[in-house]
Amino acid sequence: DEQSLTYCELLYYVQVLALALLNEYRVIPGEVVCQCVERSLSMIIGLLSIEIIGGVYCPLSPENPEQRLQNLIEQTQARLILVHSLTNRIFKNNIITYDIDTAININDKITNEDRNQLSNISITPDNISYIVFTSGSTGTPKAVQIRHRNLTAYTQSLVEMTAFKTSDNVIQIASCSFDNHFQDIFVTLMIGAGLVMLHPHGNKDLTYFIQQLMDKDVTVLEAVPSYLDILCQHLEIQNANECLKKLRTLSSGGDVLTNQIMPRLKKYASVPSSSSPSDGCRLWNTYGQAEVTITTTYFQIGFDFDCDKQAMSIGKPLPNYICAIMDEYFQFATVNQDGELFVGGACVFAGYFGRNDLTAKILMEINNDIFYQSGDLVRYDHQGFLYFKGRKDHQVKLRGQRIELAEIEKCLMNTSSLVSACTVIKWKEQYLVAYVQSSHIDEEQLRQHCQSHLPSYMI
């Protein structure tokens, strides 16, 4: 838990692993390299080594079932998986793996020849930086491709907003399955801030997590509202009143902040005063999708905001983003008219890996710019603030995770005994329910089948 690396030390280990990928495995620019590791320093070393040799970083969560991991690897056509000591037994013999811990324990010196080899690799802004999977309406996960220029533009947006500063300490919470972890890691390192990595399941051990917030002087925290709610409850139990006082930026997205959470955040965070609004903690409600590089809009919230008396806005576009609202006839919506959100600008993705057909359906040209058709219904008010209204399809969001119900239904239907299947979300209780039709139903068998093919948040 108390391991640490300076940027100089980090660069050394990244170069050692990068040279091994080049010389032993002949990885070439544009090649997808998957990485399946728990949260650790090895995670950072691995993903950066892939990036600096021009590879395409594709994270795989060790929490996913074996069959799902196998399917994702086949979908990316990756021939090499980076692992470490905690995950090196997950994959079967037919998959080539390389243990990061083994590579970085080699005490070789980096020679000028080595540096020249790395420096001569050609990477352009239009090269793909990473791939992340999202739930697919056809039942197959979609591989979202983000370019280097998309990620750089996104970083510039956050720097312009002073969301991240070199003096910050950023704590990494999000699982590698979700694009928020790219923000925690890439943006932090690109501006030279401090990155705090929890142990593999440290986000679930709230006593440990609270201690890390205080011991590491964390100033930037991002979490879904449900996590913040549970965190504040534990702060009250432990009487840890000073835990969040050093936070400069607290952002939350993926779900709705409620009046249950807001008073608790006000109690524990450092609330800016009217005489010095730039001091204290800024609380943001954020919105975004993986296809437009993590976060699209933001709304700064006062800690006295009453969620029962007014609707919570998702805000305005970040710098480098453009938002357009279109009606069903693809005409621009007027003030307070519901319409579909289209997102353009420097952060629109390159497309779905291997699915040009889906990419063509989801990207649209508006006024000579490429826009992503989000499927989200929104409206905007007279001040230009956006408000989320719902979906135009059957995609749902549960505790911050976007879920295509059809992916669950297809998984269920792959069992031979079912005639039909339908999945719905129970909004008040916040859980999923699947209804199935068959002459013979074995509930335990269906559950086991889903557990072996779907991530845990879909079950």
Evaluate if residue 93 carries a pLDDT over 80. no
| Residues near 438 by beta carbon (within 8 Å), at least 6 away in sequence | 417, 418, 419
Mean pLDDT, rounded, for 131-145: 85
Handedness of CA 98, 101, 105, 111 (dihedral sign): positive
Q: What is the pLDDT of residues 207-256, one digit of tens each?
A: 999 999 999 999 999 999 989 999 999 999 998 889 999 999 999 998 88
Q: What is the pLDDT of residues 10-21, one digit of tens each?
A: 999 999 999 999
Evaluate if residue 149 carries a pLDDT over 90. yes
Evaluate if residue 420 carries a pLDDT over 80. yes
pLDDT of residue 357: 94
Evaluate if residue 259 carries a pLDDT over 80. yes
Evaluate if residue 104 carries a pLDDT over 90. no
Evaluate if residue 428 carries a pLDDT over 90. no
Q: pLDDT-based confidence at 413, cuts 50/70/90?
A: confident
Helix (H), strand (E), coil (C) string for 23-86: HCCCCCCCCEEEECCCCCHHHHHHHHHHHHCCCEEEECCCCCCHHHHHHHHHHHCCCCEEECCC
Evaluate if residue 411 carries a pLDDT over 80. yes
Evaluate if residue 345 carries a pLDDT over 90. yes
Phi then psi for residue 111, to 5 deg, are -90, 170
pLDDT of residue 370: 97
194/188 Cα distance (integer angstroms)? 7
Which one, of 379, 285, 274, lies nearest residue 326 by Cα?
Answer: 379
Q: Per mean pLDDT, which range of 72-81, 252-261, 295-304 is the poorest?
A: 252-261
Mean pLDDT, rounded, for 267-283: 81
Evaluate if residue 400 carries a pLDDT over 70. no
Alpha-helix residue ranges (DSSP H) falling in 192-253: 206-215, 225-238
Evaluate if residue 177 carries a pLDDT over 90. no
pLDDT of residue 429: 63
Cα pseudo-dihedral 419, 424, 426, 432, rounded to 10? 70
Q: What is the pLDDT of residues 287-337, one digit of tens each?
A: 999 999 999 999 999 888 888 888 899 999 999 999 999 999 999 999 999
pLDDT of residue 424: 85
Top pLDDT among 251 and 417 is at 251
Six-digit token string for 289: 């999708």
pLDDT of residue 44: 96
This model's pTM is above 0.85: yes
pLDDT of residue 289: 94
Average pLDDT of the residues of the chain: 90
Q: Walk me through the domains of the chain, giving residue ranges and CATH numbers.
A: 1-123 (3.40.50.980), 125-391 (3.40.50.12780), 395-458 (3.30.300.30)
pLDDT of residue 405: 84
390/392 Cα distance (integer angstroms)? 7
DSSP 333: -
pLDDT of residue 213: 95
Q: What is the pLDDT of residues 20-67, one digit of tens each?
A: 999 999 999 999 999 999 999 999 999 999 999 999 999 999 999 888
Six-digit token string for 204: 């679930």
Q: pLDDT-based confidence at 416, cuts 50/70/90?
A: low
